[in-house]
Structure 1
């Protein structure tokens, strides 16, 4: 699943940590996923020589980091010596160290090394860590006069208090505080800390996903989550008010070259009228403007239907990145059910900046490797109850996951079809893709799941990292011209089974530590330094150059295979399962690399998205009566797919939004220099229903008298 589900090994682990500088020498923290299952722990020990040791483990969905840390503090309470070893979420080797002597700081990891002269206090942020560093930042920031802390290699961290909550552990009680930290990543990070002169980390809560709480106090997790959701809502509502510009009434987008997603070609320049979130008219460019109260001059730029990301796992802070990428619809492929209902409600009311969500219900079986979203079931009766819940809540699709019991797959799929749901997913352990087709699948997620059809055996445990390692090692050896491969492609075509390859996501299979992950090369220089730094951290364990070359060739063949599928008539959809927004553009670039024309790739991201979310009656093309989900682009992405990154304006849900504004609010260098303005026209009144100016009205009525 998307890296938001593995952030403990990457971005969020950079934000927080757990020290345990209470009176005891050992402090233990327990980590629970949303359904209450314990998925990890962190144990912090400090000896009387000032050495702190941390043992951290987190396992969800058959993967997760295992780390060992050691550090000593300087006089300022921040590490002067630090070392972490172990393995990251997907098995990459972690070996990172930092040392500061006087004003000289040095660091080294498997992907980078550097040195810097530092004056005053500064906190080094490891590329992979437990929650053992950020807790120190809480104390340091509390003691700082301006609540700011210099970060290494770059950046500044700041902290503000949101509120307090009383928590209980039996007869014990204490007051903890919710803090917001900014300066790392693309959104604020919320952390629970103790109060007093030397606050430290008490808990980390990611609503809808996980809670890490000091042992003994875990019963307070739900109360903290609810408090945090309410606090986040206030911040997110203000953000939505600032960045969503309501269209004032009938608005005309003048002189826009419309992308015809049905034919994958550009139309002649047109004027597009929008009212109450829908397209009301499309006229030749330069036609008389009647009744409009506002206009946007497109200046001959290309107007696309809103893009679809067909493989998201939406969070409340993702919306701006999606909108700025021109993504007006996201098919969510697995989420906490309560969190998804919250998102749908907030976006529907305009309280949350974000795209429209098409939710897919998540269905998993119980095992030590289970993902813990949606419903985790044991038998057919529970599977049917889950499907009923999804159908009653308007979900058009079901996603089945790795640990789902294969014995009930066919009956489960059949029942989902009777309730009107499409069925897709990973291939349950013990089966291969062709057997999922036998069971009635309508779609398959991820290129590795497709490749495993030719590589897995009944003994392959595809719930483990083998589902990534095996395709990396063996795809290079598959003969795409062999009869089994051709027969499988023919069957996909005959059944019109959609494939959601998420090629950009699986670039991590071939990324060598210390080199930039290619899907992010085009955006790296636009990102804040700490985010850019993360693009060069390898994910897979790649032992040597020979292995790297083999993985490179396997990944290249995966791209080629998607092109073969498309040319054979197998439906392709464009999904990401990675960094929100930006990854969709990279996915389209990889589709072009696979052999599609840029216009065909855009068609996949628009028309196909609507077809396979069953929303084609209102989305996927620019047509009268459909939703006004519109994306104005500089350049010509029908010729150069990289121009899709140059989005100057987005309209959806009756709002106008500017990617430039959104990116600047997140510390991202914009991809366009100018944004179109919304020009107010003369107000329309009952005596002037067609919106003529005064001179025109006089000429018109004067002429009428002479007639």
Structure 2
């Protein structure tokens, strides 16, 4: 089929060949010229290559010295840049209940190189199935979007019949995942796993903290490293297990043998200490990324009367020690699990000052500081996440035949993981956004957040005058 014919049909669903073309008015053929390609197929950099993108799919990766196709519509000079597969946040929380708020979050994600997210709970004011549809149909600008239904806990799943009903509900709605968030009796928990397996819905989330570790390892994925730590610890008395090398190695092997995916989600727990120390708290609020926080999250996480990490409970001596020990155990176990070959993911749990989009870079940094190589950290954010989301055929590496879903960086992330922040461009859903386009997204987010704070201040002033 000729390029001209493709342009004419671009934007309609080609059900017969199994994919949907971009909603762009026509399908450009792009040449990313003289770029350093980190394919993530192995730990190497292809220096000075060209990548050809036709209709949102990578059709060629070859040295820049070789002849380019004749039908190039646009040349993007990427000299000195590093091309890396788009990043995935497998522990993303969708805030708010309207599309204006969703778009602000999505733009913050894309501007930070995040091209895949898994929403880890659907709240009562949301319809994440509708959000996923809008994203897939290119009705809104969004990363590839994966859904989890309402999180399951004691209030909505009390017995085996509830478990059966919940799986049916997830199946009927079409959620991609089921999220466990509470402890259940064994019969209810086992019923959930059996019914979900029968219906083909992966079960992920939190561990069964009062049951043997093996029970939790029957799930498809765990959303926090501390879930492993707490199962092995004395949570009731706030005492963390002593992870000596022999114990940590044994646990890592058990986890590896189970085949489960683990998202360390280190930064949300490590960040607790920023709320319990006044100097660190002020420093956290002054961070560049913090200016993108929404008013609702700011108000919630800076009011000590709310049940957040800023509450007095977290400043008690016993809890301070517990959190410190938990952070250390998370760090130790992350290294041992990675060394054992456990498939690790990247997740941020973006609450409070875990700013949507920006926080993924903090997570990558902490995973590296835990003892993972830069390449292994990037694997967690790309290849492993693609397989977890069942996108390994179309995403996770820069390879011919896969979707053009990547970021351009001005610095090499294999040399320093902090370089994932040096984003100069993002390719997503058959659209290329240069640095100016990404800055425009962030500017829109910033202005919206500033308006929220101004509205809140005006409302408070009016209330004080009454």
How far the C-alpha of 1:600 sits from its partner, in A, is 1.6
How far the C-alpha of 1:517 sits from its partner, in A, is 6.0
Q: 1:83 maps to which residue? A: none
State the Cα deviation string for residues 506-534 of structure 1 (Å, max 9, x = none). Answer: 1233332323369969x813543987996
Matching of residue 580 in structure 1 with residue 347 in structure 2: no
Q: 1:329 maps to which residue? A: 116
State the Cα deviation string for residues 205-258 of structure 1 (Å, max 9, x = none). Answer: xxxxxxxxxxxxxxxxxxxxxxxxxxxxxxxxxxxxxxx988851111111111
CA distance in 2 between counterparts of 1:556 and 1:545 reads: 17
Q: 2:239 maps to which residue? A: 474
Matching of residue 398 in structure 1 with residue 185 in structure 2: no
Q: Which of the residues 376, 383, 393 maps onto 1:607? A: 383
CA RMSD of aligned residues (A): 3.1
Matching of residue 341 in structure 1 with residue 119 in structure 2: no
Matching of residue 431 in structure 1 with residue 211 in structure 2: yes
Q: Which of the residues 555, 558, 574 maps onto 2:330? A: 558
State the Cα deviation string for residues 623-645 of structure 1 (Å, max 9, x = none). Answer: 11111111011111111111111
Q: Taking structure 1 as reference, are residues 350 and 531 closer, same or farther at Cα in structure 2, changes over 3 Å only? A: closer
Q: 1:269 maps to which residue? A: 48
TM-score, normalized by length of structure 2?
Answer: 0.77
Q: Which of the residues 344, 365, 370 maps onto 1:594? A: 370
Q: Taking structure 1 as reference, are residues 632 and 314 closer, same or farther at Cα in structure 2, changes over 3 Å only? A: same
CA distance in 1 between counterparts of 2:330 and 2:245 reads: 14
Q: 1:302 maps to which residue? A: 82
State the Cα deviation string for residues 82-107 of structure 1 (Å, max 9, x = none). Answer: xxxxxxxxxxxxxxxxxxxxxxxxxx
| Structure 2 residue matching 1:331: 3-state secondary structure | strand
Q: Taking structure 1 as reference, are residues 389 and 292 closer, same or farther at Cα in structure 2, changes over 3 Å only? A: farther
How far the C-alpha of 1:492 sits from its partner, in A, is 0.6
CA distance in 1 between counterparts of 2:263 and 2:282 reads: 20
Matching of residue 251 in structure 1 with residue 16 in structure 2: no
CA distance in 1 between counterparts of 2:418 and 2:250 reads: 35
Structure 1: runs of 5 or more not aligned:
1-243, 368-375, 461-469, 669-707
Q: Taking structure 1 as reference, are residues 436 and 551 closer, same or farther at Cα in structure 2, changes over 3 Å only? A: closer
Answer 1 or 2: which has greater helix percent: 2
Structure 2: runs of 5 or more not aligned:
1-22, 96-101, 303-308, 448-466
| Structure 2 residue matching 1:388: 3-state secondary structure | helix
Q: 1:293 maps to which residue? A: 73
CA distance in 1 between counterparts of 2:204 and 2:442 reads: 34
Q: 2:9 maps to which residue? A: none
Q: 1:539 maps to which residue? A: 310
The equivalences for 1:104-503 within 5 A come to: 249-289=28-68, 290-315=70-95, 316=102, 317-336=104-123, 339-367=127-155, 376-428=156-208, 430-437=210-217, 440-456=218-234, 460=236, 473-475=238-240, 478-483=242-247, 485-503=248-266
CA distance in 2 between counterparts of 1:558 and 1:546 reads: 18
Q: Taking structure 1 as reference, are residues 529 and 631 closer, same or farther at Cα in structure 2, changes over 3 Å only? A: closer
CA distance in 1 between counterparts of 2:135 and 2:293 reads: 29
State the Cα deviation string for residues 144-179 of structure 1 (Å, max 9, x = none). Answer: xxxxxxxxxxxxxxxxxxxxxxxxxxxxxxxxxxxx
Q: Which of the residues 397, 402, 405 maps onto 1:629? A: 405
CA distance in 1 between counterparts of 2:385 and 2:258 reads: 18
State the Cα deviation string for residues 597-646 of structure 1 (Å, max 9, x = none). Answer: 11221111000100111110111011111111110111111111111111
The equivalences for 1:28-47 within 5 A come to: none
How far the C-alpha of 1:394 sits from its partner, in A, is 4.6
Q: Taking structure 1 as reference, are residues 407 and 393 closer, same or farther at Cα in structure 2, changes over 3 Å only? A: same
How far the C-alpha of 1:359 sits from its partner, in A, is 1.8
Q: Taking structure 1 as reference, are residues 626 and 390 closer, same or farther at Cα in structure 2, changes over 3 Å only? A: farther
| Structure 2 residue matching 1:455: 3-state secondary structure | coil
Q: 1:136 maps to which residue? A: none
How far the C-alpha of 1:333 sits from its partner, in A, is 1.7
User: 321-330 or 273-282, which moves further after superposition?
Assistant: 273-282
The alignment of Structure 1 onto Structure 2 pairs a total of residues equal to 399
CA distance in 2 between counterparts of 1:358 and 1:302 reads: 27
Answer 1 or 2: which has greater strand percent: 1
Q: 2:396 maps to which residue? A: 620
Matching of residue 524 in structure 1 with residue 284 in structure 2: no
Q: Which of the residues 492, 515, 522 maps onto 2:279? A: 515
Q: Taking structure 1 as reference, are residues 529 and 562 closer, same or farther at Cα in structure 2, changes over 3 Å only? A: closer
Indicate conservation of the 8 Å contact 2:91/2:118, yes or no: yes
| Structure 2 residue matching 1:590: 3-state secondary structure | helix
CA distance in 2 between counterparts of 1:319 and 1:497 reads: 28
Indicate conservation of the 8 Å contact 1:248/1:293, yes or no: no
Indicate conservation of the 8 Å contact 1:264/1:603, yes or no: no
CA distance in 2 between counterparts of 1:555 and 1:530 reads: 24
Q: Taking structure 1 as reference, are residues 609 and 505 closer, same or farther at Cα in structure 2, changes over 3 Å only? A: same
Q: Taking structure 1 as reference, are residues 408 and 527 closer, same or farther at Cα in structure 2, changes over 3 Å only? A: closer
| Structure 1 residue matching 2:38: 3-state secondary structure | strand
CA distance in 2 between counterparts of 1:281 and 1:409 reads: 48
State the Cα deviation string for residues 327-374 of structure 1 (Å, max 9, x = none). Answer: 10112221148610221122123232220112234451443xxxxxxx
CA distance in 1 between counterparts of 2:292 and 2:342 reads: 40
| Structure 2 residue matching 1:274: 3-state secondary structure | strand
Indicate conservation of the 8 Å contact 1:610/1:619, yes or no: yes
State the Cα deviation string for residues 439-487 of structure 1 (Å, max 9, x = none). Answer: x222212122111111147xx5xxxxxxxxx6xx533x5133354x543
Q: 2:15 maps to which residue? A: none
CA distance in 1 between counterparts of 2:208 and 2:322 reads: 27
